[in-house]
Amino acid sequence: MVEQKKGVAATRMLDVDDTHAKRPRRGTGPLDYLVPWVIELRLVGTPSVLQVQVREAMVIGRVDRDRLAYPDIDLEPFNAHLLGVSRQHTAISARNSRMTVRDLHSVNGTYLNGERMMPDRDYVLRHGDVLMLGRLQLQVIFVLTPSSYEKNNHPYADVDIPMLGSGQRVLILEEDAHVAQTISTVLEQAGFTVMMTTNIDEALYITEENMPQAVVTELILGNRSGLDFVSLMRERGGDDMPIVVVSGVVGGYQMGQAIDAGVDVFLSKPVGVDELIRSFTKILPQMRQ
């Protein structure tokens, strides 16, 4: 159990030799359009994971109640003071399909993939990057992004959510509240009626009361598989109901299992909003009123 320290007077100065540290390359591109992102910050060397929904600038640091310091993402429960994390250490921002990171003149500096960042400069943050705040390391994992252009090597284009649906019911089966809410927001903007649940039993109850016209499901649901739900839906007569998998499980074997079980579309995380929209454009003719 991690002990949380309160009322620390100052950031602990670390003995860090960064004489030969290189500056990371800066990214380019417009940064003024706010878009929804869901990311995970995985504390390297521990099982701890922080999930964050980023819509605008968020400060990463450590709470210090004596100094009235309350960052948006608090690392104090993870020995942040001892590891040299400042109260307001780093900021991350999500704009126009770009995630950026900025050092806020921290005492011990912020490193991106081992290279020290210059304070007050934005650097592009990508899926899998490692941030080091003082000596605390965070791996950044993208879960939901506005655009998949970097993932799929497509030219960049602004994200557009067209009006596809006319109230068709979509059931989202997903344990993660941030992921479920982001998918729900996108589909509602696209004209669908959304129902959300976190477990298979409740999903089955919902389908008995009000059968959806499409399903979006994760594969990993506690100690059960989303494919169990897919099979049950097919057995209950939903042979032609489109089913979309949005999952962190990747690999040809898992995808093959999903297709064999009757999944229509398989999207692996990180998933772009544009991918989700293209998938629903594809399955729209199958969604019976």
Which residues are within 8 A (CB) of 32 and not within 5 positions of it... i.e. 6 or more apart? 95, 96
Q: What angle do CA 72, 77, 78 make, to 5 degrees?
A: 105
Q: For residue 104, give Cα distances in angstroms to 59, 71, 101, 175.
A: 9, 12, 10, 34
By C-alpha distance, which of 107, 95, 102 is closest to 59? 102
Distance CA 98, CA 123 (A): 10
| pLDDT tens digits for range 193-229 | 999 999 999 999 999 989 999 999 999 888 788 889 9
Q: What is the mean pLDDT of residues 173-191?
A: 93
Q: What is the mean pLDDT of residues 143-148?
A: 88
Write down the mean pLDDT value for the chain.
85
Class (C level, CATH) for 37-145: mainly beta
Indicate if the pLDDT at residue 153 is higher than 80: no
Residue whose entry in the numeric block shows the structure tokens 């982001």: 182
Distance CA 167, CA 146 (A): 23
| pLDDT tens digits for range 3-16 | 333 344 466 566 54
User: How many of the other CB atoms lie within 10 Å of CB of 153?
Assistant: 7
Instruction: Band the pLDDT of 244: cuts 50, 70, 90.
Output: very high
Could you tell me the residue ranges of all domains in the chain?
Answer: 37-145, 169-286
- pLDDT for 82 equals 96
The distance of Cα 131 from the centroid of its chain, to the nearest Å, equals 16
Q: What is the mean pLDDT of residues 93-118?
A: 93
By C-alpha distance, which of 269, 262, 264 is closest to 286? 264
By C-alpha distance, which of 136, 39, 46 is closest to 83? 136
Assigned architecture for domain 169-286: 3-Layer(aba) Sandwich (3.40)
| pLDDT tens digits for range 59-99 | 999 999 988 889 999 999 999 999 999 999 999 998 767 89
| pLDDT tens digits for range 252-285 | 777 888 888 889 999 998 999 999 999 999 999 9
- pLDDT for 281 equals 96
Indicate if the pLDDT at residue 29 is higher than 80: no
- pLDDT for 7 equals 40
Instruction: Band the pLDDT of 25: cuts 50, 70, 90.
Output: very low
Which residues are within 8 A (CB) of 165 and not within 5 positions of it... i.e. 6 or more apart? 187, 190, 191, 192, 193, 280, 284, 287
CB 224 within 8 A of CB 200: yes
CB 65 within 8 A of CB 6: yes
DSSP state of 285: G
Which pTM does this prediction carry? 0.81
